[in-house]
Amino acid sequence: MEYFPAIPNARYEGPDSKNPFAFKYYDPDEKIGEKTAREWLRFAVAYWHTFTDGGADPFGAPTLRRPWNDAPTAIEAAEQRLDAAFEFFEKLGVEYYCFHDHDVAPEGETLAESNDNLDRIAKLALEKQKQTGVKLLWGTANLFSHPRYAAGAATNPDPAVFARAAAQVKKAMETTKMLGGENYVFWGGREGYESILNTDMKREQEHLARFLELAADYAREIGFEGQLLIEPKPKEPTKHQYDFDAATVIGFLDAHGLADRFKLNVEANHATLAGHEFAHDLAIASARGMLGSIDANRGDLLLGWDTDQFPTTLSDAVLAMIVVLRQGGLAPGGLNFDAKVRRTSIDLDDLFHAHIGGMDAFALGLKVAKRILDDGVLDLNIRKRYAEWDSTLGEEIESGKATFATLAERALEHGEPLRRSSEQEKIENIFFRYLVTR
Ligand code: XLS
Ligand code: CA
Ligand code: CA
């Protein structure tokens, strides 16, 4: 069965096109420096939002009727969903997808039944991947929806839940490997707490580290060569999540000797929930060589929760792509649209408009970022601003020759340091000009 018969394949038609199903800025084969747009962007569709969820929210029932989810049994619905997903990937021209185990295959009555369901769907998914050339960017396990995980998975007060979560990650990782997944993601769904009064925080954090270590050991044991990624998020569902933001996760990995085994999957909406700009978390991760992949979406500052909207803010996309270009790309990571259409956007067409808009925003963001970096305007200003660090004094500090005693002598000799403008408004105006000129 075809689910999107009336929708044409999305193609690049250029900025003057009025066709809502065409890309205005994303030309996959366009060379941007040494790579094509496709190679820089590595777009992925999130299975859960686009095919599985129905738009329910805390105040209301699902609003999005997806024909593929209508079937006599959950496993038949999962098979239809897979057909719809691969038809969608091909029509959109996207190369990657991402899933949680239970987005693609329903959870059974027992663990064994859940594993069988996943095997059955994964086998079909592998065939579809071979037929279409679409690949798996990352897999993950849903360790937050089932009631057993209400008080966390790895950080649960009950080790039986820890063991159950381990079994689920083991299976999800084996499946990701079987499907050639290029990464595996850990998002600490309910790894946090609600009240300090009933929480042994130290122990919970140690358990989380142990879980990650065991997972990394298992990945090595089965020869999974994909990158392991941790996705920070400050809150929601729990009040305090242990993987608060990029800096917290890096500190946590350092503290537990795990920093060389994981990188980060940074999500825009999670960075803003943590009180940061998206680019801040990207820059923190990238500075440590730990920016592995991106969940491209946006929140709504007026709502303040994880709205997971499609990203269409050009300045955010430009700032993100500046970080990506500076580090030479994201591979084996990519840009996953962890985003959902609004629950009032009920047509199947809306799924295409949403993804096309997000892809165009990042493609244009890439081109603008490349021009900014090629013209050297930011680098020039930064070099000028930090130029004194190339003087003898700067060299002595950076190389470790200086001590507090020598610095105090220097300060006495030097007198009051010169004050220099940061020229922030001038730089903001330059940035603005790049946004509006093509
Ligand atoms: C939820 C997260 C989740 C992860 C994968 O807020 O974004 O969807 O990306 O578990
Ligand atoms: Ca995410
Ligand atoms: Ca999110």
**Strand partners for 98:** 46, 138
**CA-CA distance, 335 to 361, in Å (whole number)?**
12
Say if residue 51 is exposed, middle or buried (CB neighbours under 10 Å; 0-12, 13-18, 19+). buried
Find the catalytic residue in 27, 49, 53, 100.
100
Q: Please, what CATH class does the domain formed by 31-375 belong to?
A: alpha beta
Question: Is 238's C-beta closer than 6 angstroms to any atom of ligand 1?
Answer: no
Atom of ligand 1 nearest to the CA of 265: 9
Q: Are strands 43-46 and 96-100 parallel, antiparallel or unpaired?
A: parallel
Which stretches of 13-123 are assigned E, i.e. beta strand? 31-32, 35-36, 43-46, 96-100
Total H helices, total E strands in the chain: 16, 12
Q: Are strands 43-46 and 183-187 parallel, antiparallel or unpaired?
A: unpaired
Say if residue 402 is exposed, middle or buried (CB neighbours under 10 Å; 0-12, 13-18, 19+). middle
Task: Please confirm, yes or no, whether 260 is among the known catalytic residues.
Answer: no
Q: If residue 217 lies in a helix (H) or strand (E), which one and from where to where?
A: helix 201-221
Q: Ligand 1 centroid to 6 CA: how many Å? A: 31
Mutate to test the pocket of ligand 1, among 265, 267, 307 (most ligand atoms within 8 A of CB): 267
Question: Is 241's C-beta closer than 6 angstroms to any atom of ligand 1?
Answer: no
Q: Ligand 3 centroid to 40 CA: how many Å? A: 23
Average pLDDT value over all residues in the chain: 98
pLDDT tens-digit series, residues 164-192:
999 999 999 999 999 999 999 999 999 99
Residue 351 in this model has a pLDDT that exceeds 90: yes
Instruction: State the number of CA atoms in the 13 A half-sphere of 379 facing the CB.
Output: 11
Question: Is 306's C-beta closer than 6 angstroms to any atom of ligand 1?
Answer: yes
Say if pTM beats, i.e. exceeds, 0.95: yes
Q: Which pLDDT belongs to residue 94?
A: 98
pLDDT band at 388 (very low <50, low <70, confident <90, very high): very high
List phi, psi (to 5°) of 146.
-65, 145
The CA-CA-CA angle for residues 282, 309, 90, to 5°, reads 90
**CA-CA distance, 245 to 274, in Å (whole number)?**
6
Residue 145 in this model has a pLDDT that exceeds 90: yes
Q: Ligand 2 centroid to 244 CA: how many Å? A: 13
DSSP 165-189: HHHHHHHHHHHHHHTT-SEEEEE-T
CA-proximal residue: ligand 1, atom 10 (nearest): 187
Task: Please confirm, yes or no, whether 100 is among the known catalytic residues.
Answer: yes
pLDDT band at 420 (very low <50, low <70, confident <90, very high): very high
**CA-CA distance, 339 to 311, in Å (whole number)?**
8
CB 212 within 8 A of CB 255: no
Question: Is 98's C-beta closer than 6 angstroms to any atom of ligand 1?
Answer: no
Atom of ligand 1 nearest to the CA of 295: 9
Residues above pLDDT 70, as percent of the chain: 100
Residue 157 in this model has a pLDDT that exceeds 90: yes
Question: Is 185's C-beta closer than 6 angstroms to any atom of ligand 1?
Answer: yes
Closest by Cα among 39, 19, 20 to 29? 39
List phi, psi (to 5°) of 186.
-115, 110
pLDDT tens-digit series, residues 290-346:
999 999 999 998 998 999 999 999 999 999 999 999 999 999 999 999 999 999 999
DSSP 102-171: HHHS---SSHHHHHHHHHHHHHHHHHHHHHH--EEEEEE---SSSGGGTT-STT-SSHHHHHHHHHHHHH
pLDDT band at 398 (very low <50, low <70, confident <90, very high): very high
Instruction: Domain ranges for the chain, please list them.
Output: 31-375, 378-436
Q: If residue 90 lies in a helix (H) or strand (E), which one and from where to where?
A: helix 74-92
Greatest alpha-carbon pair distance for the chain in Å reads 84
Q: How far is CA 251 from CA 245, 254, 437, in A?
A: 10, 5, 40
Over residues 72-95, mean pLDDT: 98
CA-proximal residue: ligand 1, atom 6 (nearest): 306
**CA-CA distance, 239 to 195, in Å (whole number)?**
8
- Ligand number nearest CA of 267 is 2
Q: Ligand 1 centroid to 145 CA: how many Å? A: 12
Residue 241 in this model has a pLDDT that exceeds 90: yes
Question: Is 281's C-beta closer than 6 angstroms to any atom of ligand 1?
Answer: no
pLDDT tens-digit series, residues 365-379:
999 999 999 999 999
CB 85 within 8 A of CB 47: yes
Residue 65 in this model has a pLDDT that exceeds 90: yes
Residues above pLDDT 90, as percent of the chain: 99
CB 161 within 8 A of CB 206: no
Instruction: Sort residue 418 into left (φ over 0), alpha (ψ -120 to 50) or beta.
Output: beta
**Strand partners for 291:** 264
DSSP 95-110: -EEEEEHHHHS---SS
CA-proximal residue: ligand 1, atom 5 (nearest): 187
**CA-CA distance, 305 to 235, in Å (whole number)?**
9
Q: Are strands 35-36 and 31-32 parallel, antiparallel or unpaired?
A: antiparallel
Q: Which pLDDT belongs to residue 438?
A: 82
**Strand partners for 228:** 184
Q: Ligand 3 centroid to 430 CA: how many Å? A: 32
